[in-house]
Structure 1
Amino acid sequence: MLHTANFHHAKEVANVAFLGSEATCLLGLFKKLPVERLAAGQSLFFEGDAAKHLFEVVEGSLRIFKIISDGRRVITGFLHAGDIIGVSLKDRYLYSAETVTDTRIRRISRKSFDAEVANSPDLRPEVFARLCDEMAAAQEQMVLLSRKNAEERVCSFLRKELLRVCEERADLVIELPMTRLDIADYLGLTIETVSRTMTKLNNKGIVAPAGRHSIRILKRSALTQLAGNDDGYLDNTVELAAYARRPHH
């Protein structure tokens, strides 16, 4: 298991010593570290493991989840290229992480990460911003699960995934590498409800299939309206501006 392996530890220690001059952003901390490859369905770490490392997603997608007392899986988020895993964690991982697709990651030790951030005033604001992003995502998920109906949940999910697509693309095709079961476990719905809702959106002309793991958004404004986001915070312009400011590969 990767979470127990001491993968290229000596090389990581040597590389971190040279990171200070280049790490003007958090992703810069990972730049010289070796890339690890994980097959689809492979675990990166498990809930309760010692949080000894942070990870950068270089390529691919992961799901983060918890197993609740009755054995059900609750997916709390999906991570993609450019995301960093573990910024808000200290002693233990509070969730499990597993690859959705073949994935490449880099890892840095918590000790090295904390030392670099402590010694760099330029990095601290980005750490704070990422912590705020995590808090906002958690609040959004609570609203989605407690207040929104099935259609609003599915539309909110599609709209969130849409924001990962470059705004200059006119076709508005989004990749959905996760399974319908993953989506259902994320939205607190059954697979049947997710499938019925997607069919309903397709019949309304709001979305259309665009491949095995892709969907085309035909009516973005209608999708936004059906997502139930009627406050100014989730206005498209604000979302895209915030997205553009985030570092990406």
Structure 2
Amino acid sequence: MQQRHSPFDIGRIAGLSPAQERERGEAGSPCGACSVRHLTFCAPLGEEEFDHVTRIVQNVELHPGDPLFDEGEEATHLYSVTAGAVKVYKLLPDGRRQIIGFLFAGDFLGLAADESYAYSAEAVTHASLCRFPRRKLEALLERFPRMERRLLGMASHELAVAQEQMLLLGRKTAREKIASFLLTLGQRSAYRGQAANPVSVPMSRNDIGDYLGLTTETVSRTFTQLRQSGLIALLPAGRVELLEIDALRSIAEGS
């Protein structure tokens, strides 16, 4: 594919298990049982287009902490998350880590303007992903414009998310950042057809800090303050109940 596809690399999209060919469902398609197809770039595809995609896809399973790829590694594959959570990050010159995003079911990653990945990716939870050979997928994008348009739309959305993160890092207080983060997680859960409240927060306090530009101690203290104020409740299994959504929105907006 030609350089014209470089806008897809927006700098955000966070031991790799051996790829396995996906089992074929009743309809003969390895993707026939996919429950998140409506969220992925496959959503608008017709049967002919979808059939070509299923011929090149492989399944990858990751355990928490497993790396998917490293920054600077040759970008030979692209990925679509089908379950679980993945974090993407960059290592700063001073050795610190800046998490630039958390990806969930339906999110796409690995798009690159050149031959190498612009960031590293690692599983937050047990995660399942579809893996596509980059050259073969690029050939399909050339052949089927609807796939290309879908990816462009997803890239545009990720650009908006990246711009929102810049606002979080640059102008908001710790309290405003955490409130914004929780509300955004709820919105993303609703988009995936899951419960928006309680919010699933599978990442560690350290990961949240590396995403929002806060220390782990500040993240923990802010969660405690919001809980003591009656705005949230901390539930088992990494869930957070938003008790006063309007108040949290006001905090997030700095009002």
Q: 1:171 to 1:149 in 2, by over 3 A?
A: closer
Q: Note the residue ranges of structure 1 that are not aligned, 5 or more in a row.
A: 231-249
- Does residue 151 of the first structure (1) align with residue 165 of the second (2)? no
- 2:226 is equivalent to residue 212 of structure 1: no
- Within-5 A mapping of 1:1-249: 1-2=15-16, 7=19, 22=47, 29=53, 33-166=57-190, 172-228=197-253
Q: Which has the higher contact order (CA 8 A, sep 6+)?
A: 2
- Alpha carbons of structure 1 residues 23 and 192: separation in structure 2 relative to 1, 3 Å: farther
Q: CA deviation at 1:215?
A: 0.5
Q: What percentage of aligned pairs have identical amino acids?
A: 36
SS of equivalent residue, structure 2 residue 58: coil
Q: TM-score, normalised by structure 2?
A: 0.77
Give ranges in structure 2 of 5+ residues lacking alignment.
Answer: 1-14, 24-28, 31-41
More divergent stretch after superposition (221-230 vs 198-207)? 221-230
Amino acid at match of 2:16: L
What's the RMSD between the two structures over aligned residues?
Answer: 2.9
| Residue matched to 1:235 | none
Of stretches 81-90 and 198-207 in structure 1, the one that deviates more from structure 2 is 81-90
* DSSP-derived class of the 1:35 partner: strand
TM-score, L = length of structure 1 = 0.79
Count of aligned pairs: 220
**1:30–1:56 contact (8 Å) kept in structure 2:** no
Q: Residues 95 and 121 of structure 1: is their aligned pair in 2 closer, same or farther, counting only changes over 3 Å?
A: same
CA distance 1:52–1:154, change in 2 (3 Å) = same
Cα 1:59–1:30 change in 2 (3 A) is farther
